[in-house]
Amino acid sequence: MKRLIINQLISWKENSQRKPLILNGARQVGKTYILKAFGKLHYRNVAYVNLDSQKELAKVFEQDFNVTRIIRSLSAFLNIHIEPQHTLIVLDEVQECPAALHALKYFCEDAPEYHVVVAGSLLGISLHGNSSFPVGKVDMLRMFPLTFEEFLMALGEEQLIKLMKDGETEVIDTLSGRFVDCLRQYYYTGGMPAVVKEYITSGNLQSVRQLQKQILFDYRRDFSKHAPAEQVPRINLVWDSIPAQLARENKKFIYGALKKGGRAKEFEMAIQWLIDAGLVYRVYRANKPSLPLKFYEDLSAFKLFSLDVGLMGAMADSPAEAVLVNNQAFVEYKGAMTELYVLTQLQPTGIPIYYYSSNDSLSEIDFLVQSGARIVPIEVKAEVNVKSKSLSAFIQKHPDLTGLRLSLLPFQTQDWMENRPLYAPLCWLKE
């Protein structure tokens, strides 16, 4: 299965200032698969270590940080000749061995000729809780579930991707039915690699949903296994509340919806744990649409999203019929599924993402993003009916900005706003 992050891995390999690489991301987004595939394609061999299943190898790193000894020991244990420049060393589930994470500092300083990558299913938790993190001695990448573009690649729809990249708006409009059909499929499957593979291989919708439920079960098991015991009930409450929170007209996260009298102090650690695990995205409110948006961040108001639209559908028990046959998927839960879809396409770009609401809450912009030197207010419309005063009123107050409306309507450009189809994400933020 092709993943676009391979291009970033190649750039890392070819960078003369390369440091050991940390590949972060939620459980089951495909980190192990992509690292093995990358190593197979671009190196003579791969020295793969799983520090969870091969626990005896932890002693290799816990003895000391002599890189020569570490390389010799790994080579002997794996029966692989580890060559500088030509062998990719992959340390998987590195959160199980903090010493291995700390050893990256010494690979960077004493043996930069070795190509080392580490990954782990809950690595984000370790990175935020480990005092020996090798600050300044590593490069970092984050991996996400498959985007809609990657899903089209998995479907074999390279021609649709080419149309988006080439900006062939008239042809895209003509093929809107085909694009929307693919988008429906993506809404149902989401971007978890194992789920997409099952869908492509078998087409069995029940198997797809069962696999999504299994992933959700595995996540919940991680709560109990890895989170502080006193936080587990709070983590479960936050996690279970996400569909209902997003189904509200005002999608701002409300602590009181978790339990009567719920307060930020009680749940902030639980939310942070989920964020560090890569399972949820937090989008803060920005009080002013000016550069840089970080300066106008309101830490007291935010939306909380799950990491994948397919898993969200499984959490909410959305029936296949509602997603694949009619428009219910797009409008379900007051457009929450569509808003989540838009966020998951924007997240891998790395651009700053916020939302905006007026003090009286009468006007809300779904997303406010910083794309280069531009501030772009984004309105997400899940239906063909796009009547709304929020975006036009916002632009009237900020005439220096141009709005972006994402809907099921064709391409359209007006003085104050551009409409882009939901199914053409590669065309959303083009200059």
CA distance 146 to 139: 22
CA distance 117 to 12: 10
Answer whether 259's CB lies under 8 Å from 294's CB: no
Looking at residue 365, its pLDDT comes to: 95
CA distance 157 to 279: 28
Q: What is the DSSP string of 221-276?
A: HHHHHHS-GGGHHHHHHHHHHHHHHHTSSS-S--GGGTSTT--HHHHHHHHHHHHH
Looking at residue 125, its pLDDT comes to: 78
Looking at residue 208, its pLDDT comes to: 97
Query: For the chain, which residues make up each domain, given as ranges?
Result: 5-142, 148-427
The model's pTM: 0.94
Other C-beta atoms lying within 10 Å of the C-beta of residue 249: 8
User: Is 413 in a helix, a strand, or coil?
Assistant: strand
User: Token pair of 18, please?
Assistant: 């390369």
CA distance 407 to 337: 13
Answer whether 130's CB lies under 8 Å from 330's CB: no
Answer whether 302's CB lies under 8 Å from 253's CB: yes
CA distance 59 to 74: 11
- Examine residue 292 and say whether the peptide bond preceding it is cis (omega within 30 degrees of 0): yes
Positive/negative CA dihedral, 272, 282, 332, 190: negative
How many residues in the chain? 431
Q: How many H-runs (helices) and E-runs (strands) does the chain carry?
A: 18, 13
User: Is 364 in a helix, a strand, or coil?
Assistant: strand
Per-residue pLDDT of the chain (431 residues; tens, 9 = 90+): 899 999 999 999 999 999 999 999 999 999 999 999 999 999 999 999 999 999 999 999 999 999 999 999 999 999 999 999 999 999 999 989 999 999 999 999 999 999 999 998 888 877 766 546 788 999 999 999 999 999 999 999 999 999 999 999 999 999 999 999 999 999 999 999 999 999 999 999 999 999 999 999 999 999 999 999 999 999 999 999 999 999 888 889 999 999 989 999 999 999 999 999 999 999 999 999 999 999 999 999 999 999 999 999 999 998 887 777 666 666 665 688 999 999 999 999 999 999 999 876 667 899 999 999 999 999 999 876 667 678 999 999 999 999 999 999 999 999 999 999 999 999 999 86
Thinking of the domain 5-142, which architecture would CATH place it in? 3-Layer(aba) Sandwich (3.40)
Looking at residue 384, its pLDDT comes to: 66
Q: Which helix (H) or strand (E) holds 149?
A: helix 148-155
Residue linked to tokens 């062998």? 87
